Structure 1
Amino acid sequence: MSGSTRQSTAAARERLEALTDNTSVDLAALAGDLLDVTRVLDREVSLRRILTDPATPGQAKADLVANLLTGKVGAETVDLLSGMVRSRWSAGRDLSDATEQLGALALIISADKANELDDVEDELFRFGRIVAGDVALRSALTDSAAAPSAKAELVRDLLGGKAKAVTVALVTALVTQPRGRSLESGLDEYARLAAGRRGRVVALVTTAVPMSDTQKERLAASLATLVGRPVHLNLDVDQQVLGGVRVQIGDEIIEGTIAGRLDSADRSLAG
């Protein structure tokens, strides 16, 4: 991400945060509008170019947004997009990416306000694990030939009444509009957004047996001290690790499992 795009994205997120401080804003509707606009921007390449052309005055681009969107989406969405097109973007795709990110973030903020964000983070992780273990399900959700409406209905059948509404909305957005991402990377991206809402990082913790609440609290505290930020634990049980704990935070891996140590020993002997 270039410097100008990074700054413009940060400014857009600040405007969204300020907007969502208003309790009268319907965050689900706002998120839906932003995701709909993302579809339009992804489809209309020429429009993206016009809206991100640095030679075109910002007010002219904002007027174009107002003319195109007023009456089709909420006033809050028009205001957000008008501010975004006044900013500088390195590429048209960057504007689409930021718009989609704002849509997902609006849903995450709504979960946070409802004290449901922990549940949403856990549900996104569990859904990813379920899909990873079911080849047929993953194929159905990622089939590019399948109609988006059919995939959305499948998500509702799987999660409706079993997961938070925000989780259902995020997964539906991802499977109907993957935007070149794998299902796994999209879920990871949403998980990072959710963790970032509270200034946390996500740690994938793998053990041979489920951890007790006390063990989870101690591990979270230790990792928070290590990385200097609060940590949200995504817990996975894999009997193949034999014992110990394996922790992954981003690209960093802390290997403390018996299986990992045995594998390391085998490589040392082979060398």
Structure 2
Amino acid sequence: MSKSQVAKRYAEALFQLAQEKNALVEVSNDLKELVKVIESTPELISLLVNPKFSIERKKQIVAEVFSKANPFVVNTLNLLIEKKRVNEAANLAEEFSELAAAAQGFAVAKVFSTRALTDDELNEISSAFAKRVGKEQLNITNEIDPSILGGVRVQIGNYIFDNTVASKLQGLKRTLVG
């Protein structure tokens, strides 16, 4: 999970504003879309940090790309551009997601597996691990990682529950080799 203090401060401010204006779900969804855009087109962040473009031009680009996004998200992006912190946008979205989940009794979790898990499997994991971290439910993102060979690794905040074949083999190797 993100450890950026800058992203955390911006996320907290945006979270408070979204909560006051009853726009938590909308802002959260827009931030998820923002992360998808950043991941699918890393050139966007490169463009927004490029000193050759003026701040006004960068704001125009954001306004065009995110024309249907909540104004709070667009204004936050504009602020990040002004403060030359736009590279923190993905971290801000991650921090916001954690704050929103906690406010709704959820925890954000990443589940690493060798294949895409079914909804039933994800619900089962959510039920089992939510209690361990004192939450009602988990908001799970399933990530495919063939290197784990089998099993699952669940990451909830700073907690990691690793029940993968790769980690068991690593433990066996340490035991045998010393």
Normalised TM-score (structure 2)? 0.66
- What is the CA distance between 1:145 and its match in structure 2? 6.4
Residues 200 and 185 (structure 1 numbering): CA distance in 2 closer, same or farther, change over 3 Å?
same
CA contact (8 A) 1:202 1:233 kept: yes
Partner residue, 2:166: 259
Residues 240 and 107 (structure 1 numbering): CA distance in 2 closer, same or farther, change over 3 Å?
same
Higher fraction of helix:
1
Residues 218 and 180 (structure 1 numbering): CA distance in 2 closer, same or farther, change over 3 Å?
same
Between the two structures, name the one with larger relative contact order (CA 8 Å, sep ≥ 6).
2
Partner residue, 1:55: none
Matched, 1:102 2:13: yes
Q: 2:151 aligns with which of 241, 244, 253?
A: 244
CA contact (8 A) 1:160 1:168 kept: no
Output the CA distance in 2 between the equivalents of 1:167 and 1:264: 48
What are the ranges of 5 or more consecutive residues in structure 2 without an aligned counterpart? 1-7
- What is the CA distance between 1:255 and its match in structure 2? 1.3
Aligned length in residues: 168
What are the ranges of 5 or more consecutive residues in structure 1 without an aligned counterpart? 1-96
CA contact (8 A) 1:152 1:175 kept: no
CA contact (8 A) 2:28 2:97 kept: no
Higher fraction of strand:
2
Listed one character per residue, the Cα deviations across residues 225-270 of structure 1 (whole Å, up to 9, x for unaligned) are 2112132112222333332211111222111222333344444445
- What is the CA distance between 1:106 and its match in structure 2? 2.1
Q: 1:203 aligns with which of 109, 114, 121?
A: 109
Letter in 2 for 1:249: I
> Secondary structure of 1:110's match?
coil
Output the CA distance in 1 between the equivalents of 2:50 and 2:67: 21
Partner residue, 2:124: 218
Alignment of 1:76-91 (within 5 A): none
Listed one character per residue, the Cα deviations across residues 83-131 of structure 1 (whole Å, up to 9, x for unaligned) are xxxxxxxxxxxxxx8787334432356334xx54774575465456x16
Letter in 2 for 1:199: G
Alignment of 1:57-136 (within 5 A): 101-107=12-18, 110-112=22-24, 116=26, 119-120=29-30, 122-123=32-33, 126-127=36-37, 130=39, 136=43
Normalised TM-score (structure 1)? 0.47
> Secondary structure of 1:221's match?
helix
Letter in 2 for 1:165: N
Output the CA distance in 2 between the equivalents of 1:239 and 1:170: 39
Return 164-173 or 194-203, whichever deviates more.
Answer: 164-173
Output the CA distance in 2 between the equivalents of 1:180 and 1:168: 12
CA contact (8 A) 2:113 2:143 kept: yes
Partner residue, 1:232: 139
Output the CA distance in 2 between the equivalents of 1:265 and 1:98: 43
Residues 151 and 196 (structure 1 numbering): CA distance in 2 closer, same or farther, change over 3 Å?
farther
Residues 246 and 167 (structure 1 numbering): CA distance in 2 closer, same or farther, change over 3 Å?
farther
Listed one character per residue, the Cα deviations across residues 178-222 of structure 1 (whole Å, up to 9, x for unaligned) are 659744432222112221231322112222211111111111111
Residues 238 and 194 (structure 1 numbering): CA distance in 2 closer, same or farther, change over 3 Å?
same
Letter in 2 for 1:253: I
Residues 107 and 229 (structure 1 numbering): CA distance in 2 closer, same or farther, change over 3 Å?
same
CA RMSD, Structure 1 to Structure 2 (Å):
3.8
Between the aligned residues of both structures, percent identity stands at 24
